[in-house]
Amino acid sequence: MKVLGIESSCDETAAAVVQDQNPYVLSNIVNSQIDIHKIYGGVVPEYAAREHMRCIEEVVGKAICNTDFDVVAATTGPGLIGGLIVGTIVAKTIAIACNKPFFAINHLEAHILTPRFCSDDIEFPYVAILASGGNFLFVDVQGVGMYNILGQTLDDAAGEAFDKVAKMLGEPYPGGKSIERLAQNGDDKRFEFAIPMRKKACCDVSFSGLKTAVRTQILSLGDSITMQDKCDIAASFQSIVVEMIIQQFVKAMRMVQHTVKQIVVVGGVASNSLLRSKLEELAIESGIKFYAPPIKYCTDNAAMIAWCAIEHVKNCFIPSKISEPVRPNWPLSDLYK
Ligand code: KG4
C-alpha cells in the first residue's frame, strides 16, 4: 500500500508518498515558508495561505513524479484555516480524479505516530511528549486511535514560548533554532528563573510566568543589552524549559497504568538537542528506551500524514467522507469520540 500525504496546516507546504514496508518513505518534499515569515517574528496566516496556494501543485507534483499511490491523505486540522483548505481541496480533488480513498488526518495524531515509521523498534504502548509550535501534550499512546492525554500546556505551546522569547531578543523566527544557537555561547546559570509548576501535583506545563520573567529581565537590561546578555538569557530560558518538561514528564509517567517501557519525543521542539539529551539521560536512569525521530520528521512534514493513514488502513478504519470539513481547532481529545 502506498499513500500520498499532504500537509499544509502551518508554514510548510509538504507532500510525500509513504508505503507500508521498509523503506517506508518513497518521496518527501517540503517547501518551507520561513523566509516569508521570519521578519514578522511568527507566521502571518494570510501570507501562509497564499504561499501554500502558490506552490502546492509543484510540491505534490514532485512527490508523485516517480511513484504511484493507492490512498490520498491530508491534514484537515488543527491548524490555520487557509492552509488547511488548500491542502485538503488538492487532496480531495486528486482522490476523486484518481478514484482513490481519502483519509482526513489529525496533525497531532500524525506527530505522535511518527516514530513508528522512523524506527522498526517502536511498539505500543509508549509515552509521547508532543512539543510543537502550536501544541504541548504528554500522551500515553496505547494503540492507533487509543490516546490517553496525561498532561498539557495551561497556556502557550513550547515552540510558541521559544518563538516569543526569540522575538523579545530581536532574533528571527523560528525562535527555537535561534534560542538554541544563542544558548551554545551562553551561561545557563546567570539568570535564575524559577521552574514553573514545581509544587503542583498535576503534570501540566506552563510557559507564561517564565516568559514574563524573561521579558522583565530583558527590560531591566535596557538598551545596553549585549550579545553575551542575550546568549545568557537564551541559555537560562532553554535550560528552565527543559527542566520543567522533564520534571512534569516524570509526574506524567507516574500516572500511566501500565509499565512504561518506551518514551518518545515528537514535534518541532523535539529538534532541541538539550531536550533530547536530558530525555535520554532520564531514560537511561529509569531503565527504559528513548527515541526521537530525525529532525526532518520532528518539524512539519507530509510523510507523517501519509504514515498516519497507513496506520488507519491497517487498523481497518473506514475512509473519510469527501465532504469531511477542515477543523482549525481539533484537539486530540476529540478525535475518536
Ligand atoms: O512541529 P512544528 O514544525 O510545527 C507545528 O506543528 O507547530 O514546530 C515548529 C516549532 C517552532 O515553534 C520552532 O521554534 C520550534 O518548533 N523549534 C524548536 C527547535 N527547532 C524548531 N524549538 C526548540 N529548539 C529547536 N531546536
**Is the C-beta atom of 311 inside 6 A of ligand 1?**
no
Q: How far is the CA of 99 from the centre of ligand 1 (A)?
A: 36
Q: Which atom of ligand 1 is nearest to the CA of 162?
A: 14
**265 shares its domain with 225:** yes
Distance CA(239)–CA(263), nearest Å, equals: 20
For the chain, the average pLDDT equals: 97
Q: Which residue has the cell 483519509?
A: 103
**124 shares its domain with 254:** yes
In this predicted structure, the answer to whether residue 337 has a pLDDT above a threshold of 80 is no
Q: How far is the CA of 268 from the centre of ligand 1 (A)?
A: 3
Q: Which atom of ligand 1 is nearest to the CA of 9?
A: 6
* pLDDT, position 41: 84
Quick: pLDDT tens for 260-295.
999 999 999 999 999 999 999 999 999 999 999 999
Distance CA(245)–CA(256), nearest Å, equals: 17
How many C-beta atoms surround the C-beta of residue 275 within 10 A? 23
**164 shares its domain with 208:** yes
**211 shares its domain with 178:** yes
Q: Which domain holds residue 276?
A: 120-292
For residue 43, what is the domain's CATH number? 3.30.420.40
Distance CA(130)–CA(216), nearest Å, equals: 29
Candidate of 106, 114, 162, 301 to mutate for ligand 1, largest count of ligand atoms within 8 Å of Cβ: 162
**168 shares its domain with 231:** yes
Distance CA(324)–CA(104), nearest Å, equals: 7
- How would you class 26 by CB atoms within 10 Å of its CB: exposed for 0-12, middle for 13-18, buried for 19 or more? buried
Q: Which residue has the cell 476529540?
A: 334
**Is the C-beta atom of 293 inside 6 A of ligand 1?**
no
> For the residues 153-180, what does the mean pLDDT come to?
95
**Is the C-beta atom of 11 inside 6 A of ligand 1?**
no
Question: Taking a C-beta distance cutoff of 8 angstroms, is the pair 267, 132 a contact?
Answer: yes
Quick: pLDDT tens for 193-232.
999 999 999 999 999 999 999 999 999 999 999 999 999 9
* pLDDT, position 169: 96
Q: How many CA atoms lie within 13 A of 292 on its CB side?
A: 23
Q: Treating both helix axes as pointing N-terminal to C-terminal, what angle do 227-254 and 175-183 enclose, rounded to 10 degrees?
A: 110
- How would you class 86 by CB atoms within 10 Å of its CB: exposed for 0-12, middle for 13-18, buried for 19 or more? buried
**Is the C-beta atom of 151 inside 6 A of ligand 1?**
no
Q: Which residue has the cell 538539550?
A: 274
> For the residues 228-254, what does the mean pLDDT come to?
98
**58 shares its domain with 147:** no
Question: Taking a C-beta distance cutoff of 8 angstroms, is the pair 178, 238 a contact?
Answer: no
> For the residues 121-138, what does the mean pLDDT come to?
96
Q: Treating both helix axes as pointing N-terminal to C-terminal, what angle do 273-286 and 227-254 enclose, rounded to 10 degrees?
A: 30
**103 shares its domain with 129:** no
| Residue after which a domain boundary falls, among 292, 307, 325 | 292
> For the residues 291-311, what does the mean pLDDT come to?
98
- Which residues 6+ apart lie within 8 Å of 109 measured at CB? 147, 308, 332, 335
User: Could you give the percent of the chain with pLDDT greater than 70?
Assistant: 100
**Is the C-beta atom of 271 inside 6 A of ligand 1?**
yes
Distance CA(141)–CA(121), nearest Å, equals: 15
Quick: pLDDT tens for 9-62.
999 999 999 999 999 999 999 999 999 998 888 899 999 999 999 999 999 999
Distance CA(154)–CA(203), nearest Å, equals: 10
Distance CA(162)–CA(181), nearest Å, equals: 12
Q: Treating both helix axes as pointing N-terminal to C-terminal, what angle do 273-286 and 175-183 enclose, rounded to 10 degrees?
A: 80
**269 shares its domain with 302:** no
For the record, the C-alpha cell of 27 comes out as: 518521496
* pLDDT, position 307: 98
pTM above 0.75, yes or no: yes
* pLDDT, position 336: 84
**103 shares its domain with 187:** no
Three-class SS state of 179: helix
In this predicted structure, the answer to whether residue 331 has a pLDDT above a threshold of 80 is yes
**20 shares its domain with 73:** yes
How many C-beta atoms surround the C-beta of residue 268 within 10 A? 26
**Is the C-beta atom of 75 inside 6 A of ligand 1?**
no
Atom 23 of ligand 1, residue of closest alpha carbon = 176
Q: How far is the CA of 132 from the centre of ligand 1 (A)?
A: 5
> For the residues 160-186, what does the mean pLDDT come to?
96
**143 shares its domain with 63:** no
Q: In total, how many domains does the chain have? A: 2
> Residue 82 belongs to what H/E stretch?
helix 81-98
**239 shares its domain with 308:** no
